[in-house]
A and B are shown apart, each in its own frame.
Chain A
Amino acid sequence: MNFKTTAFFAVLSFNWMISTAADITGRVYESANKKPLPGATVIIQGTTTGAVTDENGRYIIKDVNPGSYTLEASSIGFVKVTKQVILKSTITIDFFLEESSEELEEIVIQAASEATMATQQPITVTSLDAKLLQVQSVSAADVLRTSTGVAVRRTGGLGSDASVELGGLSGGAVRIFYDGIPMEYIGAGLDITNIPVGMIDRVDIYKGVMPIDKGTDALAGGINIVPRNYVNDRLEVSYEGGSFNTHRGTLLASKEVNDKLSLSFKAFGNYSENDYTMDGISVLRSDTVPNQIGNGVTIRTEEILVDDVRRFHNVHESVFAEIGVHLRDLSWANSFEYFINVSDRKDEIQNGFRITDKVVAAAFNESGALLQRVKYDKTFFADKLEVGYQGIYIRGRFRNRDATFVEKNWLGEVIRTEDELFPELGGNATDRDVDRNSHVHRALIAYNFSDNHKLTVTNFFAGLKTQGSDILNQFVNVEGEVFDAAAVPFLQDKNIAGIEWNAKWLKSQKLNTIAFAKHYYYFSEGAFRPRNTDNFLTLPIGTVDETATGYGFGVKYTPTKGLLLRASYENAFRIPTESETFGNLITVQPNLELRPEQSDNYNLGFQWDKRISPNLKFRTQVDGFVRNTTDVIQVQPFGVESSRNQNAGDTRTIGWEFSVVVEHDDFTRLTLNITDQERTFTGFPSNSGQGVQSTEGADFPNTPFFFYNVQANVGLKTFIPKSIDLQFFANYFYVEQFSIVSTLANGQAAENTFVPDQREMTAGLGYATDSKKIRISAQVNNLLNNRQLFDNFRINRPGRHFLAKIIYQF
């Protein structure tokens, strides 16, 4: 080294020494979909200096001395990426991480980073990573069951109705979203019962408190199903088949045209005859007996109990296809996406609320939708200002037919024939065929005042119009004019505006608080059944126009690494639905005075992540909650032999949830989720007019109070040659018996009102080829062949049955 050279390096070194330390910043993205990757780690190799990306995938390593470094970005489930940098002044380095090819067998306690980040908010969120279940033959509803606090109650096989209970509240109290869109606007063509797990990235469950950028008028919280979205070159197909002539297929395809444009296509199809057998079924048979009193034929109906009765009017079929155009890194948008999808669905119906001797053999539902959606986001002023918008326009159709001339028994034999159409489910024969069009808009503006303070303003608007005909359920007035109530447009508008302040406090941002407020507005207009169907001149039309204001807050404290304490509260509202307000045109009368349900939701909990040894780690989470709900909407008797929805009273729900995940890096992952809760009546509305309602303390009906699930995933590499990639999985679900009726303080529910203890086990084996391109699985559902499995009231679910699945990734 000569003098000049030596002098050059000396000067350079001196310059570096006197230079001001600089920052290394940037973002980490998922390579597959170009979406920011929260929770990823970026470190300077050979040091302990680094940072973790935030919810926008952004990281910043502050005060780094100038020099040459190797940066390493990593995230569990992704391939590590390194980059060389020469730091002179603050620089921006972005990373794109590829998914690990071993994602499905790699057992991780903190799987996808987005799921992990979601669980570390001040509000209580459980995020279920669907990737871990994708080798199994399950749908979104089955994914939900693997959480704490969530009870999913099915009414049969594939595609059968499912209701979701969250924190002891159910029905409309729990809002379900598909990629942020409220499901009630999408239509029945796409719902949690028919979305295969292969289409899902993760499921976020918001318990009791919903952030303003996600929620609508959820009372108990909400569930957001996040679909898998890929924008790199990818093609994945899957097929599964099994008992009851069940077939399901999915297709995910994406093409990265250039670094700014990608195209995607996804589709699925489901078909099942659901013709499983049931035990202890009442079969009716009719014969004639001598008429000793009057004239004519006297019919006697007899009932016999039969086992192994096969369902015969229970087919589910559904299809869905979506094309997506993805633009990114444009001058006018960080990201702009356009989707168009179609869905179609048909369900035969074979029973009502329960399995009785009355068989539904002709009724069915059909639905379909054409949905277009745009998503846009852009940041300004060095990412300080964020702007986002999502808009959806849906043209949907729904048809419900409940009319027949013949009544059949469970063996399919005709036991009654009538000259006029009669209903099997409702009070009147119906063939309601309506267009159901809606548009939904969600806009967001957020400003980051600093790293610690962010203000967000959102607005959600949804408009819905339903109109069609019901040729079998029309009214004729005194002047002979025909009125079809279904032909009168039902209109509903909802607007929910929110403002939220998110702040981080203390050293290392150990304390994180959010405070928010929401303003609700809703309007609805619709027709209802005339009070006197023999003597009216105009069809009655009612309108409802109301506002409400809610608010909430959340606090999270992380005293040490891995430990998280949090508390949150929301004063939440749920707006009455169309049928609750306007009745069913038959026996349920309208109630335009119906108030929204309101709930004070409190949550308190902690979460602890701990690595016990290099290969063994665990996470535990304990949450307690209280829901003080007022103006609970329930159908109540009203007038003679009719009913209407009323604000029936107040309830209190108290519960706790416990979750623990234990994982050995090499071969196993065990999960236990326990939920214990109770919901009781605490009061009654002042305008009941029915005197003292002294049923305070009575249990709220039809609510599971104690349930748990255990899941095991065991990689068998440790026990067999490593060239054979086998995985064993098993899930066990238990729900303690509960009654569908309320019980008074010292009383009991009648034996025939109980849904008995439910024990269900699923087990299977998965196999992957060396290249991971082909994955095959086989599983047994209801392994214990529990023939008394009903998770909705007395509707038998299938006995032991089998499914096999193959996934091919090109």
Chain B
Amino acid sequence: MKKLKTDIKLWSSTLLLGLFLTTTIGCSDDDDSLSPSEVRLTDGFVFTSFISGSGTTVEYFPTLPSGIADLSGGTTFESFGAGSVFDGALYGRQTDDERTLVKYGIDGNEELVIDASVTTSGQFPFMIRVLNEDLGVYDERGTTPTLTFFDPENFDIQGSIDISDPQIPSQHRSQDMARRDNILFTVARPEAGGNFDQVYIQATDFESGEYLGVTTFDVGNRFVTPLGINTSSTFPNFGGFGFQSVDEQGNVYVFAESDPLNQNPISAVLKIPAGSTEFDPDYFFVPALVADQTNQFFPTANGFFYMGNGLAVASVAIGTPQELVDYVVSLGGPQFLDTEEEIAQVTNILFEAKNAQWSVLDLVNQTVTPITGIPSQSPVSFNIAVEVDGVFYLTVQTEEENAYYRLDGTTATKAFDIVGGTIGRFYDLSKNN
């Protein structure tokens, strides 16, 4: 009986203690805790995947996948792309609104949510960057070319700078932006679609609120390959142009990629020297020709990304596919490549070719070192490089694999395969811009 009483006391005490602890814990400081929908994750990775036909799938991963990144469980939006990542937030166009820019967060349910937005005057706003915790900038399209500044917290408008410039031949807009201290360098593109035949980089001082002017570089028309073949660069793309395009000394590197689907396009690295807002007319680095002097046709590259210490990576067309050489020669040269059927034929050859190789570019010495351990691919395949904690990840897209490779010096090894969706960009939430 005594034991029974002791047991009852013990059990009663245990129950009371449990009840007390439960009540205390349940009513104490966790009253202030956030629900999952209120939580905002500030690290982890957001992967995107373009779906043939429509939409972009977005999926969050707490850590960088290893082996396989399965995107098949993602959420598909009409569109998604972020121009900037800052303090764990992604800034880009609203997935279902042509004229609204938004600040996205990833909530505790690992879902993409909108935390703030701004309606722009024009439509299809594209270029948006956060400069610091107090200031962001976007390009106002469809109106007078304007850089509009906002508070990244809530999108309150702070002011604007008119960057319209009569030296640029038609109504234009800004595709992307690099920053050197208080100067913003923006790439001009025609507002109504199409492309300019020269590279136009505008400079704006956002501290003084002053537009500084434009510098131009005629990539295609001035350049003839060592064997006397004309090149063109009428559709300049600017892959990799962004905040990371400025080196430690303040040189701004501009990668004039060209449209690969054109008459003998050429891809060149250009430079705006430190302290200047004008192109260095003598700096003209064509990686495909450096890698192979006989690369007469389509000396292109893509996926350019500045890594630091004067080094960049890019997927470089090394050697011209013999089928393409034969075809262009049969026409009498690339200057005779002008009908849509002929360009389509070239496109088909390039789609099937595997002459592009990820390479390390020494921007100072203008050398090209092919990266080993990574498959070669089509020179027109989608390519990007992403930095995570100082390590660079490079896309590989072939008929055999969809994968990101990890770069180590001039060697790469596979980091993870992308399955369940096509390969796309991923964003590191812990890294600003």
Chain A residues close to B by CB (< 8 Å): 284, 286, 289-296, 298-303, 356-358, 416, 418, 420, 422, 427-428, 528-529, 531-535, 540, 542, 586-587, 590-593, 632, 634, 636-642, 648-649, 681, 684, 687-695, 698, 700-702, 739-750, 752-753
Of B191-199, B304-312, B321-329, the one with at least 4 CB within 8 A of chain A = B191-199
In the assembled complex, the Cα of A649 lies from the Cα of B54 at a distance in Å of: 12
The total of Cβ contacts below 8 Å across the A-B interface reads: 244
Name B259's contact: one of A298, A640, A698 (CB within 8 Å). Answer: A640
Q: Contact at A587–B193, with CB atoms within 8 Å? A: yes
Q: A529-B194, A692-B400, A700-B53 are in contact. List 15 more A-B contacts (CB 8 A).
A: A295-B162, A357-B119, A418-B143, A531-B259, A534-B197, A540-B339, A592-B341, A593-B348, A691-B382, A692-B401, A740-B78, A741-B55, A743-B55, A744-B72, A750-B95
In the assembled complex, the Cα of A701 lies from the Cα of B378 at a distance in Å of: 29
Q: Contact at A753–B77, with CB atoms within 8 Å? A: yes
Question: Which chain A residues border B339 with CB–CB below 8 Å?
Answer: 540, 542
Name A744's contact: one of B74, B211, B262, B396 (CB within 8 Å). Answer: B74
Within 8 A of A (CB), among B193-212: 193-197, 206, 209-211
Name A298's contact: one of B73, B157, B171, B340 (CB within 8 Å). Answer: B157
Let me know if B352 is at the binding interface, CB within 8 A.
yes
Let me know if B277 is at the binding interface, CB within 8 A.
no
Let me know if B381 is at the binding interface, CB within 8 A.
yes
Of B284-292, B293-301, B415-423, the one with at least 4 CB within 8 A of chain A = B415-423
Q: Contact at B77–A641, with CB atoms within 8 Å? A: no
Q: Contact at A416–B193, with CB atoms within 8 Å? A: no
Q: Contact at A292–B159, with CB atoms within 8 Å? A: yes
Q: Contact at B234–A688, with CB atoms within 8 Å? A: no
In the assembled complex, the Cα of A741 lies from the Cα of B211 at a distance in Å of: 41
In the assembled complex, the Cα of A139 lies from the Cα of B247 at a distance in Å of: 66
Name A747's contact: one of B52, B74, B196, B423 (CB within 8 Å). Answer: B74
Name A695's contact: one of B344, B378, B422 (CB within 8 Å). Answer: B422
> Contacts A592-B344, A689-B378 hold; do A303 and B119 have CB atoms under 8 A apart?
yes
Let me know if B148 is at the binding interface, CB within 8 A.
yes
> Contacts A293-B160, A298-B157 hold; do A535 and B234 have CB atoms under 8 A apart?
yes
Question: Which chain B residues border A422 with CB–CB below 8 Å?
Answer: 142
**Chain A proximity of B10: nearest CB distance (Å):** 51
Name B419's contact: one of A632, A687, A689, A694 (CB within 8 Å). Answer: A694
Q: Which residue of B lies closest to A591 (CB)?
A: B344
The 8 listed contacts between A and B (C-beta, < 8 Å) are: A294-B160, A294-B209, A593-B348, A634-B53, A689-B351, A698-B53, A744-B72, A753-B77
Let me know if B386 is at the binding interface, CB within 8 A.
no
Name A535's contact: one of B148, B197, B381 (CB within 8 Å). Answer: B197
Question: Which chain B residues border A300 with CB–CB below 8 Å?
Answer: 157
In the assembled complex, the Cα of A286 lies from the Cα of B332 at a distance in Å of: 57
Let me know if B75 is at the binding interface, CB within 8 A.
yes
Q: Which residue of A lies closest to B260 (CB)?
A: A639
Question: Which chain A residues border B398 with CB–CB below 8 Å?
Answer: 691-692
- Chain B positions 104 through 135: 1 when the CB is less than 8 Å from some CB of chain A, otherwise 0: 00000000000000111101001000000000
Name B53's contact: one of A284, A427, A428, A742 (CB within 8 Å). Answer: A742
- Chain B positions 44 through 62: 1 when the CB is less than 8 Å from some CB of chain A, otherwise 0: 0000011111110101000
- Chain B positions 186 through 230: 1 when the CB is less than 8 Å from some CB of chain A, otherwise 0: 000110111111000000001001110000000000000000000
Name A639's contact: one of B118, B261, B421 (CB within 8 Å). Answer: B261
Interface size class of chain B, counting residues whose CB lies under 8 Å from the partner chain? 35 or more
In the assembled complex, the Cα of A534 lies from the Cα of B188 at a distance in Å of: 15
Name A590's contact: one of B77, B340, B418 (CB within 8 Å). Answer: B340
In the assembled complex, the Cα of A298 lies from the Cα of B377 at a distance in Å of: 47
Name B399's contact: one of A428, A540, A691, A742 (CB within 8 Å). Answer: A691
Q: Contact at B51–A695, with CB atoms within 8 Å? A: yes
In the assembled complex, the Cα of A448 lies from the Cα of B420 at a distance in Å of: 56
Q: Contact at A750–B75, with CB atoms within 8 Å? A: yes
In the assembled complex, the Cα of A587 lies from the Cα of B123 at a distance in Å of: 15
Question: Which chain A residues border B382 with CB–CB below 8 Å?
Answer: 690-691
Q: Contact at A694–B53, with CB atoms within 8 Å? A: no
In the assembled complex, the Cα of A688 lies from the Cα of B170 at a distance in Å of: 34
**Chain A proximity of B249: nearest CB distance (Å):** 28
Question: Which chain A residues border B210 with CB–CB below 8 Å?
Answer: 294
Q: Which residue of A lies closest to B209 (CB)?
A: A294
Question: Which chain B residues border A295 with CB–CB below 8 Å?
Answer: 161-162, 209
In the assembled complex, the Cα of A284 lies from the Cα of B421 at a distance in Å of: 37
In the assembled complex, the Cα of A542 lies from the Cα of B121 at a distance in Å of: 38
In the assembled complex, the Cα of A17 lies from the Cα of B377 at a distance in Å of: 92
Q: Contact at B119–A692, with CB atoms within 8 Å? A: no
Q: Contact at A358–B197, with CB atoms within 8 Å? A: no
> Contacts A742-B51, A742-B53 hold; do A357 and B193 have CB atoms under 8 A apart?
no
Question: Which chain A residues border B50 with CB–CB below 8 Å?
Answer: 637
Question: Which chain A residues border B235 with CB–CB below 8 Å?
Answer: 531-532, 639-640
In the assembled complex, the Cα of A648 lies from the Cα of B192 at a distance in Å of: 26
Within 8 A of A (CB), among B130-171: 142-143, 147-149, 157-162, 169-171
**Chain B proximity of A648: nearest CB distance (Å):** 5
Name B348's contact: one of A296, A427, A535, A687 (CB within 8 Å). Answer: A687
Within 8 A of A (CB), among B319-349: 338-341, 344, 348
In the assembled complex, the Cα of A427 lies from the Cα of B339 at a distance in Å of: 25
In the assembled complex, the Cα of A646 lies from the Cα of B49 at a distance in Å of: 19
Q: Contact at B53–A534, with CB atoms within 8 Å? A: no
In the assembled complex, the Cα of A698 lies from the Cα of B149 at a distance in Å of: 40
